[in-house]
Structure 1
Amino acid sequence: MSESKPNASEVLDRLSSSYGVSTQKELAVCLEISPGNVSAWVQRGSVPGNAIIKCALDTGADLKWLVTGLFANANLKNTNISKSARTDSGKTLLKKMLSAGGKSVLKRILDAYGFTTQKELSEYLEISTGTISTWVRREYFPGDVVITCALDTGASLEWLATGEMGIASQVETAASGIPMISKKLLLAGKLDEDGFCYIDETFVPDGVNLNNLNFVRSGKSAWLIEMGISEISNGSWLLDIDGILDVYAVSRRPGSKLRVIGQDGEFECSTNEVIAKGLVVALLKNYI
């Protein structure tokens, strides 16, 4: 796969516009790099993918517009945030991006493309499998490939870059109009990121907030769970008990007591002895 290289000066102009700055020095402050780096990018004729990703997530600017300039309606609604607020956001974002490199970012890229092996990805991107293996070995964050993947597949840039889905990006819509929600794997009492999936809204009960809906699987069972609901009522819940997550059937008892039924038995406890992480709104048994 080969594409023409975007013009570095034009990309920098769009980055500056998104941040609401006018000089290379101001742009360097927003990107938390040396001004000399920006000058070097112009001389080299190439802007690193990490800088473009950071700008897109920091400002909300349209990724394709930042890279190609094709869209004139880029989302620049956040360009007026204060410089100090940008810096705090940037530091947090950069930390998340760099800590999400290596094997984890590779898995998300493979999931987004629908590939199961590094060989498939290497052939598609026309890069060696050795290069891909280096990402894993060195915990490297391949910013340029993340951008390519986001533009190719329509996957959430925030999810690809950090493994997380923000409120704005968690419910994205495919060209067919089908919402996309986060998938998570419940394993050994922990929730791990497992990509994303599209869901038919007819399977979702009325009143459920799609922004908070996750598809959670464990073994041969899976659930649609509306995360973030903390007031426990009768029903099935994702509970944190002593730091271990699992799905339980719960019924309330007088005196702020709960009857909790799990795979290994049942017990009673006080409401303050468990932490509700989410309400099960649909159960899928033996879905594999």
Structure 2
Amino acid sequence: MSSYGVATQKALSEATDIPTNTVSNWVQRNSVPSNVILKCSVDTGADARWLVTGELAKANSSQRSRALKGKPLYDKILASGGKAVLRRILDAYGFDTQKELGDLLNISSGTISTWVRRNFFPGDVVIACALDTGVSLEWLSTGSGAMQDLPIAVKNSVLGAITLESLKLVAGKLEPQGQCIFDNRFLPKDISQDSLRYIYSGSRAWLISFDSLELSNGTWLLDIDGTLDVYSVSRRPGNRLRVSGKDGEFECSVNEVKAEGIVAVCIKKFL
């Protein structure tokens, strides 16, 4: 109620579009659903830790000035369950497998698999993950915004830093992963920064410019029959291409593949 700037349960009901009798039940049962806590934090800007535990000051004490999203936001949170929210939880913890998450939280693999199968939104786990890792609660809940909400002072302290959209290449599709900060001193001088995106897959990562769409010799993000991947391309006479990827090499005509962007910087992990 403090976060929404209201004084009564009825006013809270009107602000959240949640029935008054439902709000009353929370009081009687001494329990507020985790999804409602998530919605309140994202909707009002209130600090999630303060909402859950009462610790720390509210992140935003002037809630009335915010444009509240109400039921559309609540619906968006509930619709962000299943595989998508599980993937974000794993990324926040830096885990590759469901077993690692289960071992950390003492949750069975069967329960985690049920989230995916039933497209379930595990609100309690999302809150615990946000408090545990410090990632953005909005990103964790809905996939919107940046994974990490870095203070402006931190961003400005990095000389020549630029903010790029981050995308994960999964099964031939690009999945939004928020934003990342990159030192522009590593960029080629003739590349437009506005066209760049950070894309990664496993141990491979690239800065890709989406301005260049006319195929030439180089490394490209290609769409082949609706599936995206990064390939080395060299032109051949007769409007032919030689295309090399992680799974092999082949030749084709120029019009058999679609160029999505050219790789400006290739980043490799050395383990």
The bucket for the TM-score relative to the shorter chain is 0.5 to 0.7
1:67-216 to structure 2, matched below 5 A, reads 67-75=52-60, 79-81=64-66, 86-87=69-70, 90-91=71-72, 93-162=73-142, 164-166=143-145, 169-170=146-147, 172-173=149-150, 182-188=166-172, 190-192=173-175, 201=183, 204-205=186-187, 208=193, 213-216=197-200
Q: Which residue of 2 aligns with 1:24?
A: 9
Out of 133-142 and 71-80, give the one that drifted further.
71-80
Out of 120-129 and 99-108, give the one that drifted further.
120-129
Kindly tell me: are residues 187 and 44 of structure 1, through their superposed partners in 2, closer, same or farther at Cα, counting changes over 3 Å?
A: same
Is contact 1:59–1:76 with CA below 8 Å preserved after alignment?
Answer: no
Question: How many angstroms does 1:76 deviate by?
Answer: 5.2
Question: 2:175 corresponds to which letter in structure 1?
Answer: D
Q: TM-score, structure 2 length as denominator? A: 0.66
Question: How many angstroms does 1:197 deviate by?
Answer: 9.2
Is contact 2:164–2:179 with CA below 8 Å preserved after alignment?
Answer: yes
Query: CA offsets, 1:88-132, max 9 Å, x none?
Result: xx41x3343223212332232223223344443334323444433
Secondary structure of 1:54 counterpart:
helix
CA distance in 1, matches of 2:12, 2:100: 37
Kindly tell me: are residues 131 and 31 of structure 1, through their superposed partners in 2, closer, same or farther at Cα, counting changes over 3 Å?
A: farther
Question: How many angstroms does 1:246 deviate by?
Answer: 5.0
Q: Is there any run of 5+ residues in structure 1 with no aligned partner, and where? A: 1-12, 251-258
Kindly tell me: are residues 266 and 134 of structure 1, through their superposed partners in 2, closer, same or farther at Cα, counting changes over 3 Å?
A: closer
Question: How many angstroms does 1:42 deviate by?
Answer: 1.4
Query: CA offsets, 1:177-225, max 9 Å, x none?
Result: 888973401533x2135x6797663775388469x7433337x743124
Q: Is there any run of 5+ residues in structure 2 with no aligned partner, and where? A: 234-239, 245-249
Residue 37 of structure 1 is aligned with which of 15, 18, 22? 22
Is contact 2:82–2:115 with CA below 8 Å preserved after alignment?
Answer: yes
Q: Which residue of 1 aligns with 2:237?
A: none
Kindly tell me: are residues 115 and 75 of structure 1, through their superposed partners in 2, closer, same or farther at Cα, counting changes over 3 Å?
A: same
Residue 31 of structure 2 is aligned with which of 31, 43, 46? 46
Q: Which residue of 2 aligns with 1:64?
A: 49
Matched residue count: 248
Q: TM-score, structure 1 length as denominator? A: 0.63
Kindly tell me: are residues 201 and 121 of structure 1, through their superposed partners in 2, closer, same or farther at Cα, counting changes over 3 Å?
A: same
Kindly tell me: are residues 221 and 129 of structure 1, through their superposed partners in 2, closer, same or farther at Cα, counting changes over 3 Å?
A: closer
Kindly tell me: are residues 201 and 43 of structure 1, through their superposed partners in 2, closer, same or farther at Cα, counting changes over 3 Å?
A: farther
Query: CA offsets, 1:48-98, max 9 Å, x none?
Result: 111111122223333223323333251356633456xx24xx41x334322
Query: CA offsets, 1:147-173, max 9 Å, x none?
Result: 1101101122223212x242xx35534
Q: Which residue of 2 aligns with 1:255?
A: none
Question: 1:31 corresponds to which letter in structure 2?
Answer: T
Secondary structure of 2:65 counterpart:
coil
CA distance in 1, matches of 2:108, 2:16: 30
Is contact 1:238–1:280 with CA below 8 Å preserved after alignment?
Answer: yes
- Aligned identity (percent) is 46
CA distance in 2, matches of 1:202, 1:230: 17
Kindly tell me: are residues 185 and 246 of structure 1, through their superposed partners in 2, closer, same or farther at Cα, counting changes over 3 Å?
A: closer
Kindly tell me: are residues 284 and 118 of structure 1, through their superposed partners in 2, closer, same or farther at Cα, counting changes over 3 Å?
A: closer
Is contact 1:109–1:149 with CA below 8 Å preserved after alignment?
Answer: yes
